[in-house]
Amino acid sequence: MPTPDTVYACLDGLNTTTAVVDGACWAAQRLGAPLTLLHTLERPEPAAAVGDYSGVLGMGAQDLLLQRLSDLDEERAKVAQEAAQRMLDEARGRVCSESVTQVGTLLREGDLTDVLLTQEPTARLFVLGSNRRPPTARKLRLDHRIETAVRNLHQPVMVMDAVPFTAPTHFVVAYDGSATADRAVQRVAGSPLLRGMPAELVMVGECPARLQERLRAAQTLLADAGFTVTTRTLPGLPEEVIPPLLESLGSTLLVLGAYGHSRIRQLIVGSTTTALLRLCSVPVLVLR
């Protein structure tokens, strides 16, 4: 079995690319891990079929048109590969060789999630850009490719916004007392990625005695792992309360458990994970 030790920076050339590279460099340095800059060329949509005009044009002209279309597809694919390789080379030039000693590039073709699942046996962390396109401030939409990748991958995923990356000085764990949240806390406790940084466990909504006990247990687990941990309970809904809290804290990182509810419940009432990925403007680390 290959060793899952590589940080993959998943680049798409859009407005989050710089933040993805810088965030992945930071993570690779913290983990002492090799870094691979990965770009996936999505298969182009098939060209519209050309009708049979041989009765008007003659068979020779019809064949010539089909050949020209084939040549155009081949040229388009070649240009896309050249542009992708140039982007990877430029991104590699941005990586600080003093902090990340092993840097590679990888160009693949296909669906993003399928490519990432293929690389997952060697992955320690995937870093992706959110590329949200807001028609209005209240209608930010998460890129469906990001949501699909996060739902299907089992290794941690860090999602970057388009704002310039600043190395976080502390982190916040969105904690709801669920088994998914507990697993996220356990993974934080055992990983060097966030070690040495102050932590805050934030619980939003009603906090009965049972959940308060679980919150204290999660705090103790992180404290025993060497973290300085505080807790905070806030009224309201996570997607309404947590984004403004993070903005007020400065250079921070949000840690989430990934999609803890059943798929049916997600379809009916949505997902807090997706909502926070959609609304937060800080790096978000999603853990299984």
Q: What is the domain-level CATH number for residue 6? A: 3.40.50.620
User: Does 283 lie in the same domain as 202?
Assistant: yes
Averaged confidence pLDDT in the chain: 83
User: Does 186 lie in the same domain as 97?
Assistant: no
User: Does 200 lie in the same domain as 146?
Assistant: no
User: Does 67 lie in the same domain as 40?
Assistant: no
- What string of DSSP letters covers 157-186? EEEE-SSPP---SEEEEE--SSHHHHHHHH
What does the alpha-carbon distance between residue 275 and residue 263 come to, in Å, rounded to a whole number? 15
User: Does 130 lie in the same domain as 18?
Assistant: yes
Least confident piece of the model among 30-34, 137-141, 144-148, 205-209: 137-141
User: pLDDT tens, 76-117?
Assistant: 778 778 888 899 999 999 897 777 889 999 999 999 999 999
Which of 133, 163, 193 corresponds to the end of one domain?
163
User: pLDDT tens, 154-175?
Assistant: 999 999 987 889 999 999 999 9
User: Does 216 lie in the same domain as 75?
Assistant: no
Percent over 90 (pLDDT), the chain = 52
User: Does 114 lie in the same domain as 23?
Assistant: yes
Domain of residue 147 covers 1-49+81-163
User: Does 154 lie in the same domain as 88?
Assistant: yes
What is this structure's pTM? 0.83
User: Does 178 lie in the same domain as 71?
Assistant: no
User: Does 202 lie in the same domain as 62?
Assistant: no
Q: What is the pLDDT of residue 49?
A: 54
Q: What residues have CB less than 8 Å from 89, skipping those under 6 apart?
A: 105
User: Does 191 lie in the same domain as 76?
Assistant: no
User: Does 59 lie in the same domain as 158?
Assistant: no
Which of 129, 144, 163 corresponds to the end of one domain?
163
Which of 28, 62, 80 corresponds to the end of one domain?
80
Q: What is the pLDDT of residue 227?
A: 96
Residue 229 has pLDDT above 90, yes or no: yes
Confidence of residue 2 (pLDDT cuts 50, 70, 90): low
How many structural domains are present in the chain? 3
Which residues make beta-bridge pairs with 159? 128, 284
